[in-house]
Amino acid sequence: MFSYLTLVHGIHKFMENVLSVTTANKRIDILRNNIQDLQIIDESHRPTSLTNSNIGVSVTFKDVVYRVANKKLLRIPKLNIQAGETIAITGTGSRLIVPLICRMFPLNQGVVSLNQIDLTQLNIAQLMEQVGVVPWDPKAAGISIGNFLNPDGKIPSDQINNVLIEVKLFESVARLTNKIDDMVDRLSLGDRQLLCLARCYLRKPALLILEQIHPNVIDIVNAAVKQKFAEQTVIIVASHEVQYRNICERLINLDTL
C-alpha cells in the first residue's frame, strides 16, 4: 500500500538522480572550459602506434553511449569521419564531443577511435599532440598570452607575431597594457577563441575541433579552416550548421543517427 515513507523515498531517489546528472554536467563544463586541460596535458607514456602527422586522422564512433543516473546524454550508433574531412555536428549530446575525444570521462559502452586505434589505448600526451581544440568558452587563468602560445619558449617571436596577424588577433594583443605578456583572461571571448586557433596554427594538429564559435569571429575561423586546415580533419560542434555549409563536406545531426 502506498505510504508517506514510499513517497519520501521516491523523491529522495529522484533528487539523487537529478544531482548526479547536474554534477556530471558541471564537471564536464569545467573540464571543457579549461584550455590547459584540453591542450597542455601530460602523463606517463604508454606505447601507442598513432603516427604524428600534419595530415588528418580518421575518427570513428561505434555504439557510443554515455549516460549518468540512467539519463542518456549522448548516443552515436555509428559515425565514420574520413581523414582530411570537415564536418559539422549538431543535436543532442554534441557538446560532449570535445570532452569525449579528450578522454575526460569514460563511456558506458562503445568505442571512439583515431586511425582505427581505440582512444583508451592512446597516451594522453600524444593524443593531445594530435588534437587541437577551440572551446566555446576558453579559460586559462593565470597564464600569459605568450606562455599559452609558446609554453616551452622554442617558437621564434616573429613566427608568433605572424600567426597573431593571420588570425586577426595582433591588434587586440597590441592594445593590452603588457601586450603578449598580459593574461589570457584579459581578452574577449571571441579573441580567446582566436588565441586557441593561433595555438593550433603553431601546433598543426591532425584533428581540429571547433566548438560553438562566437559570431564575431566565425568568418575568420571559417577562412582558417579552408586555407590552413584543408588537409586536417575538422569537427565543428555547432548549434546552427547553416553557418558552416560552405566549408563542410557533411552536416551530421546526432538525433537522426
Q: Which are the contacts of 102, defined by CB distance < 8 A and separation ≥ 6?
A: 31, 37, 38, 41, 127, 128, 131, 133
Range with the poorest average pLDDT among 52-56, 76-80, 161-165: 52-56
pTM, entire model:
0.82
The answer to whether the beta carbons of residues 183 and 145 sit under 8 Å apart is: yes
Average pLDDT over residues 167-179: 97
Strands 207-211 and 131-134 come out as parallel
Going from N- to C-terminal start, the domains of the chain cover 36-43+51-256
pLDDT of residue 18: 44
State which amino acid sits at residue 27: R
CA dist., res. 148 & res. 162, Å (int): 16
The answer to whether the beta carbons of residues 112 and 61 sit under 8 Å apart is: yes
- Which SS3 state, helix, strand or coil, does residue 135 take? coil
Please, is 169 exposed, middle or buried when counting C-beta atoms within 10 Å of its C-beta (0-12, 13-18, 19+)? Answer: buried
Average pLDDT over residues 155-174: 97
Return the percentage of the chain with pLDDT > 70, whole number: 79
Range with the poorest average pLDDT among 15-19, 55-59, 220-224: 15-19
Does 2 score more than 50 pLDDT?
no
Does 35 score more than 90 pLDDT?
no
Does 138 score more than 60 pLDDT?
yes
Q: How confident is the model at residue 50 (pLDDT cuts 50, 70, 90)?
A: low
| Between 139 and 180, the higher pLDDT residue | 180
Fold of 36-43+51-256: Rossmann fold (3.40.50)
CA dihedral 101, 139, 208, 205 (to 10 degrees): -100
Q: How confident is the model at residue 88 (pLDDT cuts 50, 70, 90)?
A: very high
Of 247, 208, 244, residue with least CA distance to 57: 208
Name residue, grid cell 571571441: 190
CA dist., res. 92 & res. 96, Å (int): 9
CA dist., res. 51 & res. 237, Å (int): 25
Q: Which is it for the CA torsion 107, 129, 53, 253, positive or negative?
A: positive
CA dist., res. 178 & res. 127, Å (int): 33
Q: Which is it for the CA torsion 55, 75, 249, 222, positive or negative?
A: negative
Does 16 score more than 90 pLDDT?
no
- Neighbour tally for 83: CB within 10 Å: 17
